[in-house]
Amino acid sequence: MQMAHLDTFPIYDARIMSNDQLTIMVTSPVLDQTQVALFNLPAITFLAPGEINIAQSQAIPTYVVDTQGDIYFPNIGKTRLAGLTRSQAVDLITEKVSTYLPDPIINLQITSFKVTVLGEVNRPGLVGANDSRMTIFDVIGAVGDLTIYGDRRNVLLIRDNNGVRDYHKFDLTSSNIFNSPYYYLQQNDVLYVMPNNVRKSDSKFGQAKNYRMALISLSLSSLSVLTSTIIAIISISR
């Protein structure tokens, strides 16, 4: 029996960008949590604005990558993460923490990963991801697929690469999409699904119809004013 050929693709690993929000947890199998806590952000919160009392928070604290691409890591200091993939960032932090902790385990997640979807889709808006690996089909599925007026051969991707706009068009019906370097989306990407010819025709027809209705309304208004004027003149002449 002939086996079906399966295409293989490199595993995608998202790159960290400025303004990303990250959760980074450090653990160690050989140390107690008191020592490990020195390398984790404290999970605390103030009970009320202005209060000096604090309480344990259930939320995992996050790091925000600044505009220079750095975070400030407890007991390590400024650490440049922007431009690194998630696995590269884990390797870097592991190397730095290993100076102080034996066999550290680093869990890093990009929690601010989101994509904006606009145009001819059923539920336009923001789509967030639980991890940093999201394909264009993941996003299309999350917004309920295209409407009947969406053009599957004309989906526009807008990406910000360090202040430079990058544009790419997808044909969702082509198998070449799986080989595209844009198949995996990046955080803050914008997808716009173009309208198909039916929608464009309806739009043109609607505009023409509205124009004709406006002319008819204006004509009727003018006729009404003229009729009222004639009636008034006849009444005065009597």
Q: What is the per-residue pLDDT across 119-131, written as a single tens digit (0 to 9) for each?
A: 999 999 999 876 6
Residue 108 scores a pLDDT above 60? yes
Higher pLDDT, 25 or 209: 25
Same domain (yes/no): 130, 87: no
Same domain (yes/no): 28, 71: yes
CATH number of the domain at 97, please: 3.30.1950.10
Q: pTM for the full model?
A: 0.67
Residue 4 scores a pLDDT above 60? no
Quick one: pLDDT at residue 28?
A: 85
Lowest mean pLDDT segment, chosen from 52-61, 98-107, 153-162: 52-61
- Residue 41 in any domain: the answer is yes
- Residue 153 in any domain: the answer is yes
Quick one: pLDDT at residue 59?
A: 64
- Residue 9 in any domain: the answer is no
- Residue 8 in any domain: the answer is no
- Residue 157 in any domain: the answer is yes
Quick one: pLDDT at residue 12?
A: 76
Integer Cα distance of 154 and 195 in angstroms: 8
- The dihedral built from the CA positions of residue 41, 42, 44 and 49, taken in this order, carries a sign that is negative
Quick one: pLDDT at residue 131?
A: 66
Higher pLDDT, 166 or 52: 166
- Residue 53 in any domain: the answer is yes
Instruction: For residues 202-210, give the mean pLDDT.
Output: 54
Instruction: For residues 142-165, give the mean pLDDT.
Output: 91
Same domain (yes/no): 122, 100: no
Enter the tokens of residue 96.
Answer: 């730095």
Q: CB under 8 Å to 74, separation ≥6 — which residues?
A: 38, 39, 40, 41
Same domain (yes/no): 37, 89: yes
The DSSP code for 184 is: B
Element (H, E) at 230: helix 197-237
Q: Per-residue confidence at 207, pLDDT binned at 50, 70, 90?
A: low
* Residue that is last in its domain, among 110, 145, 166: 110
Quick one: pLDDT at residue 92?
A: 96
- Domain extent, residue 71, equals 21-110
CB 187 within 8 A of CB 160: no
Same domain (yes/no): 26, 102: yes
- Residue 11 in any domain: the answer is no
Same domain (yes/no): 94, 148: no
The DSSP code for 85 is: B
Q: Per-residue confidence at 46, pLDDT binned at 50, 70, 90?
A: very low
- Residue 142 in any domain: the answer is yes
Question: pLDDT tens digits, residue range 16-42?
Answer: 988 899 999 998 887 777 888 888 888
Q: Tell me, rounded to whole angstroms, the distance of Cα 162 from its chain centroid.
A: 16
Instruction: For residues 144-154, give the mean pLDDT.
Output: 94
In the chain, the number of structural domains is: 3
Instruction: For residues 148-174, give the mean pLDDT.
Output: 91
Instruction: For residues 160-171, give the mean pLDDT.
Output: 87
Quick one: pLDDT at residue 84?
A: 94
Same domain (yes/no): 51, 120: no
